[in-house]
Copies of this chain bind each other. A is one copy, B any other.
Amino acid sequence: MFGTLVDWRTGVAREAQLILQPHRIAIDWIAFADAWRDEYQPAMEEIRSGRLPYVKLDVVHRRMLQKIIPNFGLEKIPEIALDQLTLAWHCLDAWKDVPVGLARLRKRFRIAPVSNGNIALMSDLARRNDIHWDAILGADIARTFKPNAAVYLSAAEAFGLEPGECMMCAAHSADLKAAAASGLRTAFIARPQERPGVSESLPSVPVDVDARTTEDLATQLGL
């Protein structure tokens, strides 16, 4: 979802500016979004490893935000504004191919997010971007985070499918590698604009389909 379907970087930067500028904060908003996202893997790892119990991504995003407060001089921002800021992740726009690409894929396939995002977060992003999921699967169903195998396997199981009947689609090779290890098929969707210079333009692992966009994926799958 994040990066593959929605542009978290400019969306979080925009929402942060909207919420923090009235508090007389003037920072590099894109750098702020990047710094917040950079806390993602360490925060996930606390839970994936079992050191902390599962909590939904909204809660993890709030913890991640707490860590970067000193770096951006946000110590005096009221708690309520920080809680509101955490919901920035619910207000992200999809890449422009997504509504049409997913609608084409849904003609033949059941489609569901298998994201680390929680159900409320996924349903808000779907509403905003006119996406019609068949179900919302992922971390909130598995009660742990990707790339733990339980997340991919619980998603297949929820649809009553074998892993090999499912295809994990993502812009991130690590995600696809873990899905493939659980027996799912994989499709790479290139999002070089997710974080220019850092994001992958090509997968670094073998994939079943290597697509440029969701529309290209639909075409390659014969739709």
Interface size on A, residues (CB 8 A): 20
- Contacting residues, chain B, for A58 (C-beta < 8 A): 160
Q: Which residue of B lies closest to A132 (CB)?
A: B132
Please determine whether A110 and B132 come into contact, CB atoms closer than 8 angstroms. Answer: no
- A136 interfacial by beta-carbon distance below 8 Å: yes
- Contacting residues, chain B, for A132 (C-beta < 8 A): 132
- Contacting residues, chain B, for A82 (C-beta < 8 A): none
Please determine whether B126 and A134 come into contact, CB atoms closer than 8 angstroms. Answer: yes
A127-B134, A140-B141 given; 16 more Cβ-contact pairs under 8 Å: A110-B123, A118-B158, A119-B137, A119-B158, A120-B158, A120-B159, A120-B160, A122-B135, A123-B135, A123-B159, A132-B132, A133-B135, A135-B135, A135-B136, A140-B158, A141-B141
Interface residues of A (CB under 8 A from B): 58, 110, 118-120, 122-123, 126-127, 132-137, 140-141, 158-160
Which 10 residue pairs of A and B lie closest in terms of their CB atoms, listed nearest first?
A120-B160, A123-B134, A119-B158, A135-B136, A123-B135, A119-B135, A120-B159, A132-B132, A110-B123, A140-B158
